Amino acid sequence: MSTVAGERTGPRTGTMAQALNLALRDAMRADKTVHVLGEDVGALGGVFRITDGLTAEFGPDRCLDTPLAEAGILGTAVGMAMYGLRPVVEMQFDAFAYPALEQLFSHVAKMRNRTAGKLPLPITVRIPYGGGIGGVEHHSDASEAYYAATPGLHVVAPATVGDAYGLLRAAIASDDPVVFLEPKRLYWGKDGWDPAAPVEPIGRAVLRRPGTSAVLVTYGPSLPVCLEAAEAAKAEGWDLAVLDLRSLVPFDEATACAVVRSLGRAVVVHESAGFGGAGAEIAARLTEKCFHHLAAPVLRVTGFDVPYPPPMLEHHHLPGVDRILDAVARLQWEE
Amino acid sequence: MPEMTVLDHRNDPAAAVPGWRPGATAPRTDPAPLLPDAEPLRVLGTPAADAADPALLRELYRRLVAGRRYNQQATTLTKQGRLAVYPASTGQEACQVAAALALRPDDWLFPSYRDTLAVVARGVDPLQALTLLRGDAHTGYDPRATRTAPLCTPLATQVPHAVGLAHAARLAGDDTVALALLGDGGTSEGDFHEGLNFAAVLHAPVVFLVQNNGYAISVPLTRQSAAPTLAHKAVGYGMPGRLVDGNDALAVHRVLTEAVERARTGGGPTLVEALTYRIEAHTNADDATRYRQAEEVEAWRAHDPVRLLEDALRGRGLLDEQLVADAAERAEQLAARMRAEFHTDPELDPMSLFAHVYAEPTQQLCEQAGQLAAELAAEAEVHGR
C-alpha cells in the first residue's frame, strides 16, 4: 500500500472527485463489509474515475465490475446487503438508473418496512447527477424528486469537496439506503478540505453564507450558482443568505424554518424541473410553517418543465445568476 | 432452400485468426452439456423410485397432504373475508415442498407470492406465512432467522436478490446456497434475465426453479415464450438447464438436490423448469373459465402430485393405514388452527405504521406520528374508551 494513514489525515486541497474516491477508499479500509459494484468501476475506475484504484487495492471482489444491467446491479446489491455486506452501487449516469427504479422503489426503499425491521438494507446508490457538462440526452437528468418522494430512502446531495467526503462516509455508514447524488459538474472543482474533520450527520443543513435580506435555499450543483448570485446581489443592495440543505431526506426543516422566519423572504433554487419538484415541497413546507413571518411568497427558481435539453441549449434551462436575481427582485412583494 | 450468403473473408480479421470471433476473449464452450433433456425427468412410477429413501417418501407425502389441505382452507378463508387474497398452489404442492426440502436450514429461499407451502416447508409457522395475504403485516416471519426472504409480489425481482446473497455467501467462505422460486410469467421479466446473467458471470451458488404452471394469470405459455422449453433459456447464459415433472415430488427433489449440491460445491448456478399446473384460478379473484378449458384442467387432475406419490407409496407397501391417518390428522389440525386463528381480526397497533420506515424516523415522520396519535385519542374520546 503506497499511502499511509498519516498522509491522509489533515487538511489538503483537492477535487470533489478525489474526495469521493478517498471516501470510498477509507470506507473500504475501515470496514471489510463495504463492497463497490457497478459497470466500469474496476480497471477503468469509473467513467468519472471515482472508483479509481479500488480494484487494485481491494481486489476485484470488493470493487466488482458487473455486467451492464442496472436492475441486476442493484438487485444483486440487495442480496449482498441481506447477507451482511454494505454495498456501494454506482449508476453510471442519472438516467441509466431508471431500469433499476423497481428494485429501488419496491425493495431497497421498503425492505426494512416489509420485514418489520429485520432486514435493513445499508446500500448506498451513487448517482452522478445533473447537467452542465455538455452531456447528450440521458446523461444530465436531475431526478431527485422521484427519490425524495419514495419513503424509506435517504436522498443526499453534497455541494462541497468536504461534504462529498464526509457525506459519502456517512451514507456508507448509514444503516438505511441512501441515494447519493453527486453533482457531476462539480467533480473537478478544487477546494481545501480536511478528511479528519468531524462530519455533520446526514439531515443537517448548513448556512454557507449569512445574510440579512433574504435566503436562497438550495442543494447540490446549484449551491455555487447561488453563492455567485448572492455576491452579485450586493450591487443591488441585497444581502443574501445561502442555505445548503445537503440532504433532501431527511429535510432539515428546523434550520430552514429558523432562517426563513428570521429573514421573511426565501427563494428555493434547483436545476431539475419545477412542477412536482423538490422545490415545490420545500416551498410549501416553508409557507405552512413560516406564513406569519413571510413578507413575500416563497419563490422557486428551477429548470424548466422540459425533458433535459440538448447540450447546446442547457444553459437556457439551468438556473443561472440572472434568473435567481430576477426572483430576488420579486421578493419586494407588493399586493 | 434459399441460396446461402457467401461472405468475403479477405478483409475479415476472423479469417486471419483461427477460432476468432468478434468480441470473443474467452474460448467458446460447447452448449450441448448445458441443454436440458428432451423429456422432463420422472422418477415416480419408474424403477428409480424403488431406491428412494422411505423416510423421504413419507415426509413428502405428509407435507403434500397437509399442503393440499392448507390450500383448501386458505381459499375458504378468502370466501369468508378472512384472507384478503390467496393464490392457491393446488396442483403445485410437489414443486414447492420437494424444492424446499432439498435445502439445508442455513440455505436461503427466495419465494414468490404463490410459494407459501415452500415457506412453510422451511419451518416458518404456517400462519405467519399468511400475514401478507391476510393483510395485517407484509412479512410475518423473521427472514434472517428462517433464512427465507419475504414473499415477493413483483415478478422476478427476487431473482437478483438470490444471486447477490449467494455471491456474498461465497465471498464469506460459507457453503450456503440460495434458491429462487418463480413462475413461467416471471421468466419474461428483465430481472429474471439480468439475475441469471449475473449468476452465471459471478458463478454464484444459486438455483432457479421455474414452476411452469401453464399460465401467467390468463396468458398461456405460448404467449409467454417461444423457447423450446423455459429450461433452454439457461444455455444462453452459460448454465445448465434441467427439465423435470413438477408433479413428481421425487423427481423435483432429485433435480433440486443435484442442483443445490452442484452450487454448494462450486459448480455454479442451475436453471430448473418444473412442468406443473395450477388447478385453481390465479387467485380467488380470478375466473379461470374465461381462458382455459375444463378438459385441460381434468387432464391435469389425473396427473395429481398427491395421487402420484400415493401410488408410489402403495406400490412399495409404504402407504399403511398409520401413515394415511397420521397425514390426514396433521392436515386437519393445521386447517383447524387456521380457522381458529383467523376467526377474528387481529389487534393491530396503528402507531406501528411509523416503526420501520427508517432506523431513525425523520422529523416529518415524528410529526405525522403525533398527528395519528392525536386522531386516535380523539376517536377514543368520542367512543368513550
The CA distance from B255 to the nearest CA of chain A, in Å, is 24
C-alpha to C-alpha distance for B310 and B51, rounded to whole angstroms = 16
C-alpha to C-alpha distance for A230 and B377, rounded to whole angstroms = 48
Question: Out of A76, A152, A174, whose CB is closest to B160?
Answer: A76
Chain A contact for B179 (CB, 8 A cutoff): no
Strand partners, B209: B181, B272
- Residue A78 and residue B161: Cβ atoms within 8 Å? yes
C-alpha to C-alpha distance for A1 and B42, rounded to whole angstroms = 57
Write out the three cell numbers for B312. 408410489
3-state percent breakdown (helix, strand, coil) of chain B, nearest 5: 50, 10, 40
Interhelix angle A16-30/A161-173, rounded to 10 degrees, is 30
Q: Give the containing element (helix H, strand E) for B370.
A: helix B363-382
Write out the three cell numbers for B138. 407484509
Q: What is the ipTM of this complex?
A: 0.94
The residue-averaged pLDDT of B367-382 equals 95
The answer, yes or no, to whether residue A199 has pLDDT greater than 80, is: no
Confidence of residue B111 (pLDDT cuts 50, 70, 90): very high
Question: Out of B160, B190, B356, whose CB is closest to A79?
Answer: B160
The pLDDT of residue B28 is: 73
| Cβ contact A26:A195 at 8 Å | yes
The DSSP output letter for A309 is P
Give B22-31's long-range contacts (Cβ < 8 A, gap of 24+). Answer: B29/B238, B31/B235
The answer, yes or no, to whether residue A5 has pLDDT greater than 50, is: no
The pLDDT of residue B17 is: 57
C-alpha to C-alpha distance for A118 and A229, rounded to whole angstroms = 47
Confidence of residue B11 (pLDDT cuts 50, 70, 90): low
**Cα→Cα distances A287→A6, A283, B253, B362, B367, Å:** 48, 6, 63, 20, 17
- Residue A116 and residue B138: Cβ atoms within 8 Å? yes
C-alpha to C-alpha distance for B324 and A5, rounded to whole angstroms = 70
Q: Tell me the chain B residues in contact with residue A65 when contact means C-beta distances shorter than 8 Å.
A: none
Confidence of residue B22 (pLDDT cuts 50, 70, 90): low
Confidence of residue B384 (pLDDT cuts 50, 70, 90): confident
Confidence of residue B2 (pLDDT cuts 50, 70, 90): very low
The answer, yes or no, to whether residue A277 has pLDDT greater than 50, is: yes
pLDDT, tens digit, 9 for 90 and up, residues B62-74: 999 999 999 999 9
Q: Tell me the chain A residues in contact with residue B195 when contact means C-beta distances shorter than 8 Å.
A: 72, 75-76
The CA distance from A288 to the nearest CA of chain B, in Å, is 13
- Please list the active-site residues of A: 139
From the candidates A58, A76, A88, which should be mutated to test the interface with B, based on the most B CB atoms within 10 A? A76
Chain A contact for B163 (CB, 8 A cutoff): yes
The answer, yes or no, to whether residue A7 has pLDDT greater than 90, is: no
Residue recorded with cell 427465507:
B148
Confidence of residue B18 (pLDDT cuts 50, 70, 90): low
Catalytic residue among B291, B292, B330, B337: B291
Question: Out of A72, A82, A152, whose CB is closest to B165?
Answer: A82
The answer, yes or no, to whether residue A166 has pLDDT greater than 70, is: yes
Write out the three cell numbers for A159. 455541494
C-alpha to C-alpha distance for A219 and A216, rounded to whole angstroms = 10
From the candidates B147, B165, B179, which should be mutated to test the interface with A, based on the most A CB atoms within 10 A? B165
At A287, the amino acid letter reads T
**B285 vs B8: which has the higher pLDDT:** B285
Strand partners, A301: A269
Q: Tell me the chain B residues in contact with residue A251 when contact means C-beta distances shorter than 8 Å.
A: 362-364
The answer, yes or no, to whether residue B13 has pLDDT greater than 70, is: no
Active site residue B237: no
Question: Out of A72, A84, A112, whose CB is closest to B197?
Answer: A72
C-alpha to C-alpha distance for A245 and A286, rounded to whole angstroms = 13
The answer, yes or no, to whether residue B26 has pLDDT greater than 90, is: no
Confidence of residue B5 (pLDDT cuts 50, 70, 90): very low
Cα B202 to chain centroid distance, Å, stands at: 22
- Residue A75 and residue B194: Cβ atoms within 8 Å? yes
Active site residue B86: no
Q: Tell me the chain B residues in contact with residue A61 when contact means C-beta distances shorter than 8 Å.
A: 171
The sign of the CA dihedral A274, A276, A281, A286 is positive
